[in-house]
Amino acid sequence: MTPWLVVGLGNPGERYTQTRHNIGARVAERLGERLGARLRKVRFIPIEVAEATLGGERVYVARPQTFMNVSGPPVASLAKRRKVELDNVIVCHDEIDLPFGALKVKLGGSTAGHNGLKSLQQAFRLPDFYRVRLGVGRPPGSKDAADHVLDRFTKAEREDVELLIEAGAEAVETLIREGLTAAQDNHNRRGPAA
């Protein structure tokens, strides 16, 4: 049985932990906690991995230790080493094209300018992996999108961020246990949970 690989995208280092760009990495951490597994460094690949089981399936939860725009090669190396097929890869990432607090589960599609997704598509040579898209909203006014995603969440957003991270981890679990349609029906939402 092919194992699953859940990837949380972000930038390494304390400076980036609480930024919008790192919400995918935080979902991976939360999923590891929910499954009772700790992220640990992998030898010879710049990536941290937690190993767990979920509904009888083997699951690797990973967080690249490279910057976002070069996260593809370590993820592809890990997938190859652990014999994970592309259709069992789930990538959790920030999404400026979704309103803050929204969540959308999908399969494949374009990168919409997301450098982490671009790097993964180049490394896998295909776009056909699952995505858990976590809405961080568009930058206000004329603010640059790159600056926006490297900002921390505002005080007013922090409570909803924690709920979104939890919802992201739950969406991954549903996707693995019950498939794409169930994950979309149960977890897709247009904004913060009421």
Task: Give the distance between the most distant pair of CA atoms in the chain.
Answer: 49
Q: Strands 130-135, 89-95: parallel, antiparallel or unpaired by DSSP?
A: parallel
User: What is the predicted pLDDT for the residue at 191?
Assistant: 83
* CATH no. for 4-187: 3.40.50.1470
Tell me: the pLDDT tens digits for 6-16? 999 999 999 99
pLDDT band at 50 (very low <50, low <70, confident <90, very high): very high
Q: Tell whether the torsion through CA atoms of 118, 123, 124 and 126 is positive or negative.
A: positive
Q: Tell how far CA 37 is from the center of its chain.
A: 17
> What beta strand segments (E) does the chain contain?
4-8, 40-42, 45-54, 57-64, 89-95, 103-107, 130-135
User: What is the predicted pLDDT for the residue at 145?
Assistant: 85
Residues marked active site are found at 21
Average pLDDT, the chain: 95
User: What is the predicted pLDDT for the residue at 20?
Assistant: 95
Considering just the CA atoms, what is the radius of gyration of the chain in Å?
15
Segments in 38-136 forming alpha helices (H): 72-81, 115-124
